[in-house]
Structure 1
């Protein structure tokens, strides 16, 4: 069965709908969804919370539901500090963390972190290689001049899902991660990506990564609302409008379940969805109905 997660409401939605993060986390868990997620943003111009604090808050008021980073950017942090944040989240959540990992976020975020944007790829690979030992409490040579760093307490390694729809991301997922986590991609790209992952997994002698898709759901949205949402996606992600128009998951629960079923047929086992349209709680109820159908 395809598992469904939801992005927790933004600061603006929390204020508009009088819905705090704790209530939202409990609501998603009680609705029967599989996971709750937050993004990792530093200086974007929008009101955002620190992801590690937000997910810690969500973990503290829930018991079953997985908590997910969509996606954590280790490369804008000192590596030991990134590992400490991840280990702390894994510890306080009772090992419920799924760690989406990315290297993006826009150049303004990297400038704010005082890390060169051009180093993002090298630093991300370095993080993915060193994090397993750091989380396990083993010495890792990451300090100045190769000095060994050892952190405690040791925690079980969370699943690493590598974000982005690119050949580099799929290589990282197959070589260093546990899952591939592209967002806002059509079904046919997922199927093509799965074939590439199978080839890479064979090359690296590792299991084929899990596929989790990120998307946007707008249950009950009319045509005008869908077109407006597609325009926002096209502008925000720099993609053609016609491509963006095919991506929102809209309609009845049965229609959305059918759309997600096609992603499952293409190889996806998880869907992590932001919601648009009517209020956040109503959209979570809609996703719960979709999950029941799946």
Structure 2
């Protein structure tokens, strides 16, 4: 079982600036597999949109002022580390221009020596879509087409063109290409549309805040759809996000039990948010790794 760390890199407060790079180097040295960077372009004092995960996370969203742009931060982390995998958990792809995003992602993958994984999702905040002047409706169809266009842009062919409902461009050159022959696209979500998206475009699943029974059912459905499409489950990396309930040894022992059970239902990496404070950060990150059995 691999272990990744998420939500440790906010863009405001004492964890700004050099802190993110130092934290990533520590995470790499301890032996965690990866770091995962969240995305919201803007936050709001209040939301009409319903947060789709556990209520504790909703409370944190409401009091968050901002985070670093994940692709900019990923480039910095790539320069500061050598073996750590770097990914987004998740990039709200329908809000972004697919040509610009494809080029940014390929650049990060090149700069990291092929260590980048693109986690994508459709998002849940209608307020954020409105602020960016992007339609919230049909965001799933938009993301599917963006992924198809980005795959075409990453192809080894020099010349690329694309024609669709949301994206259309005449033959052009888009460089650099990713360092990885197939850059991993990890699809977030829990719906039937997510399952179909993984099968058609993805290289893995980015689940979040799911029970082990939820995971088991989702993986069973995914296995059936993958087989029907002529794909093998070994092509996929299955990940699930886990938010610690607190900062005590007991909370972290609960995380260990969750991680062990996740492995039994097909998950190969748990992406944890251990809720570690700034004071004694290194001590607590090492202690967390010890307790969860890294």
- What is the aligned residue count? 264
- Which shifted more, 129-138 or 158-167? 129-138
2:162 to 137, 141, 160: 141
Q: Which residue of 1 aligns with 2:218?
A: 193
2:130 to 86, 105, 111: 111
Contact 1:137 1:150 in 2 (8 A): no
Q: In structure 1, list runs of 5 or more residues that go unmatched.
A: 224-249
Q: Which residue of 2 aligns with 1:49?
A: 68
CA shift for structure 1 position 54 = 0.9
TM-score between both structures, scaled by the size of structure 1 = 0.82
CA shift for structure 1 position 119 = 3.0
Name the CA shift for 1:90/1:18 in 2 (closer, same or farther; >3 Å): closer
**1:49-68 → structure 2 map (5 Å cutoff):** 49-68=68-87
Contact 2:12 2:66 in 1 (8 A): no
CA shift for structure 1 position 16 = 6.1
CA shift for structure 1 position 217 = 2.6
Q: Which residue of 1 aligns with 2:271?
A: 272
Q: Which residue of 2 aligns with 1:232?
A: none
RMSD between superposed Cα atoms in Å: 2.4
CA shift for structure 1 position 126 = 0.5
**Could you say what secondary structure the match of 2:137 adopts?**
helix
1:26-77 per-position Cα deviation (integer Å, ceiling 9, x unaligned): 1111111000111121011422111111111111100000001111122111
Contact 2:252 2:288 in 1 (8 A): no
Q: Which residue of 2 aligns with 1:289?
A: 290
Name the CA shift for 1:5/1:145 in 2 (closer, same or farther; >3 Å): closer
Q: Which residue of 2 aligns with 1:240?
A: none
Q: Which residue of 2 aligns with 1:202?
A: 227
**Could you say what secondary structure the match of 2:208 adopts?**
coil
TM-score between both structures, scaled by the size of structure 2 = 0.82
Name the CA shift for 1:66/1:16 in 2 (closer, same or farther; >3 Å): closer
- CA separation in 2, counterparts of 1:16 and 1:115? 31
Contact 2:244 2:252 in 1 (8 A): no
Q: Which residue of 2 aligns with 1:23?
A: 22
Q: In structure 2, list runs of 5 or more residues that go unmatched.
A: 45-64
Name the CA shift for 1:287/1:161 in 2 (closer, same or farther; >3 Å): farther
